[in-house]
Amino acid sequence: MAMSFLNLIYRPSSSPKAIFCPKPSTTGLSSNNKFSIKFPICCSNIKTNNTTTTTTTSGTKDHKLSWENELIRAFETSSPVERDDDDELFQDLVDKRCVDNIRMLIVDSVQYAKAGHPGMPLGMAEVGYFLYRHVMKYNPNNPNWFDRDRFVLSAGHGCLLQYVCLHLAGFQSIQLEDLRRLCKLGSRTPGHPENVLTDGIEVTTGPLGQGVANAVGLALAEAHLAARFNKPDAVVVDHRTYCIMGDGCAMEGISHEAASLAAHWKLNKLTLIYDDNKNTIDGHTTLAFSEDISSRFKALGWNTITVDNIHEDLGEFKRALLSASNETEKPTFIQVKTLIGKLSVKEGTSDAHHGTFKEDDVNRMRQKIKWEDREPFHIVPMVYREMQIHTEQGERREQDWYSTLNYYRNKYPQEAMEFEILLNGGLVSGWESSLPTWSNSDPVDATRGYSEKCLNHLAKVIPGLIGGSADLASSNKAYLHGYKDFSQPDSPWGRNIRYGVREHGMAAISNGIALHGSGLIPFAATFLIFSDYMKNSIRLAALSHAGVIFIMTHDSIGLGEDGPTHQPVEQLAGLRAVPRLLVFRPADGNETAGAYRVAVANRDVPSLIALSRQKVNSNLSGTSAGAVEKGGYILSDNSGEDLPEIILISTGSELCLCEGSADTLRKEGRKVRVVSLVCWRLFDRQPMEYKEFVLPRSVVKRVSVEAGSPHGWREYVGWDGVVLGVEDFGASGAYLDTFKKFGFTEENVTKISRSLLDR
């Protein structure tokens, strides 16, 4: 019987004393434990129905004086101080000059690197600046502060805009030298954003549309945790998610899948900002795109707003964000009409998408904004200070949050304990012991059935386990019983996610949940054949160190009657080729539990568990949950101290065929070893001595048996061995008949082995 979560957390090894929470900086710590909800936009004098926020230092006379010469130079105006401009007008001028500086840093970076994608950053400079200067809640001195706002750049080719904003905002991960090293080998400013390289980058994007789905996952995580932990007098989860998408993201189907779910889930703290510049690489969007994208999002159920003139009127964008922050039921889609390559002679054309600028074009851009006599990478000193005003507010907000957390610990100790376990990775001491074990007397089941038992045992002790299936929960057996469905407003605390028939969106949303950094451990389930729909997201999970658990059932031609359209053949080979991804194909209940043990423990790599539809023994003699962590091990061997004559190697439901064949051969006096190669990547990582112990090089007579593509097996079988696999598509028929047609029977494995032994 699985122990409960509370039984585990109240063990001595899991006492509150052991809980780690990152320490904030000690400056300005508030002694007030009461929490007040702050309006997320920090612009001067922006008002909501019941909240006003002000920027306390930007309107002072000293601050205006520091900007005086720069504003006179830029706008050929009289002194804003002598004119006694009101604070809002003064801030508008400052904002415009900061945007000018951002644009020139973008131009300088591309020119210096002789590479990059400047078009989108130049066109969206106002949006990037405004978000980092006036809107988002963050602390550059603690980039991983839990309650920060999340920002995702789905149009990842425009990463230079985010790099510049991160630098100006004070993130140590982007120094001025990093802007000079755009796209260079080993730099922290790669050609598309990578979360594992650069603090301040939440997710790794690149393939268009992925970031939209990632942002939905981040917003779902916030909504789920807020429902579970917030109290009327202590709000510990309260942040927003912002995402910039482009025309390419709008065209990719994954964005539609994710947007549909975001509206269905009522993720009102999600704001999607659409860079509507009407250009892609090949030319104007009218080449292939003529729909009304705003109407599409409105039909999906989004709050939609159009900003027509952001280059001249930042206030229009400000008002759009206000509308988003006031929305209580719908996510918000803001269509921002921009000019790609703003300032350049390429402005408004697809030529601006990527590449450098001619020297005379750069000179004209400098003249337009009064930048002629400045060296490349010049930054007006007051721009740093302008951004610092906002980041200081972020520091104070973080301090307030820690004060609230202290109050929360004292008043709600049980909830606080669970919350902090999540913030520290989500695993409690001894969680592994919750996994079920099986004996020979247990009834036979498919490995998908053993998986269901593992998931539900784990859910009782791992508070962050959350996930769902692409409309196949009853087939995948991937449902947490007794934990309700995530649904707003009914049960946002639910830990089952209903994705509908949206495999690609499901995978990328799961990546967002995993990268939320809150200890949530997402699982995503479907048939193995549909992993093809998810492949790009699975690859990005590996690239971005997102510890998603992908549950793939109906893992072979053993599926039977559904026929070759639903029978995976080449999928395992392709997935095993993905760097870092751990692919498991367990043979029984023991190996299934072992696969989950490794998958849950490894929080910085994704895992994929391929499971059978057909029934197999719950406890195949010789299998070991603990041995799964080595990837491959000896299941049985009658060779004693001698080397075997032949080695049979297999995975999944075919392992029992090898064991049955081995029994027959042993009765004939043969020395036979059977090896379970449940996870190739883990086996490949073992020391050479161990690999030699399991698969001694001197034993060249080997047979591999797997009801999938033979691709890759030759590495373990060698050129003298035999690979029994599926070299064509499957066939429709009862699974035993299908297995027989393709040679997956004990008799055929024995025949192949005898032939090899007789050579």
- Residues catalogued as catalytic: 503
The answer to whether 94 and 386 have CB atoms below 8 angstroms apart is yes
d(CA 561, CA 355): 53
d(CA 129, CA 387): 9
Helix (H, G, I), strand (E, B) or coil at 450: helix
Q: Which residue has the tokens 């989500």?
A: 426
What are the structure tokens assigned to 127, written together? 């949006």
d(CA 682, CA 583): 9
Question: In a 10 Å sphere around its CB, with 0-12 CB exposed, 13-18 middle and 19+ buried, how is residue 689 labelled?
Answer: exposed
What are the structure tokens assigned to 37, written together? 């909800």
What stretches of 320-437 adopt beta strand conformation (E)? 332-337
d(CA 178, CA 168): 12
What are the structure tokens assigned to 612, written together? 């059978």
20 is in an annotated binding site: no
- HSE-CB at 680 with a 13 A cutoff on CA atoms is 25
206 is in an annotated binding site: yes
147 is in an annotated binding site: no
Helix (H, G, I), strand (E, B) or coil at 114: coil
277 is in an annotated binding site: yes
Helix (H, G, I), strand (E, B) or coil at 683: helix
Q: Which residue has the tokens 């001694």?
A: 696
Looking at the chain, the number of H-run helices and the number of E-run strands are: 27, 22
87-90: long-range pairs with CB below 8 Å, 24+: 87/44, 87/45, 87/58, 87/59, 88/44, 88/45, 90/58, 90/59, 90/64
275 is in an annotated binding site: no
**CA nearest 205: which of 246, 147, 173?**
246
User: Which positions ≥6 away from 604 have C-beta within 8 Å?
Assistant: 545, 547
d(CA 672, CA 666): 7
248 is in an annotated binding site: yes
What stretches of 458-547 adopt beta strand conformation (E)? 465-469, 496-498, 521-527
374 is in an annotated binding site: no
746-757 vs 655-667: helix crossing angle, rounded to 10: 50
Q: Please give the C-alpha separations between residue 243 and each of 17, 100, 129, 378, 676, in angstroms, as whole numbers.
A: 38, 23, 14, 28, 45
353 is in an annotated binding site: yes
What stretches of 183-225 adopt beta strand conformation (E)? none
93 is in an annotated binding site: no
613 is in an annotated binding site: yes
User: Which positions ≥6 away from 338 have C-beta within 8 Å?
Assistant: 123, 124, 127, 275, 276, 277, 310, 311
The type of residue at 682 is: L
419 is in an annotated binding site: no
What are the structure tokens assigned to 644, written together? 């075997």
482 is in an annotated binding site: no
**CA nearest 209: which of 167, 182, 245?**
245
617 is in an annotated binding site: no
Q: Please give the C-alpha separations between residue 126 and each of 62, 162, 240, 307, 318, in angstroms, as whole numbers.
A: 25, 12, 20, 12, 11
Helix (H, G, I), strand (E, B) or coil at 552: strand
d(CA 419, CA 709): 45
313 is in an annotated binding site: no
Q: Can you say which residues are annotated as belonging to the binding site for thiamine diphosphate?
A: 157, 206-208, 248, 277, 353, 530
Q: Can you say which residues are annotated as belonging to the binding site for Mg(2+)?
A: 247, 277
Q: Can you say which residues are annotated as belonging to the binding site for substrate?
A: 117, 353, 448, 475, 554, 562, 566, 613
Q: Can you say which residues are annotated as belonging to the binding site?
A: 117, 157, 206-208, 247-248, 277, 353, 448, 475, 530, 554, 562, 566, 613
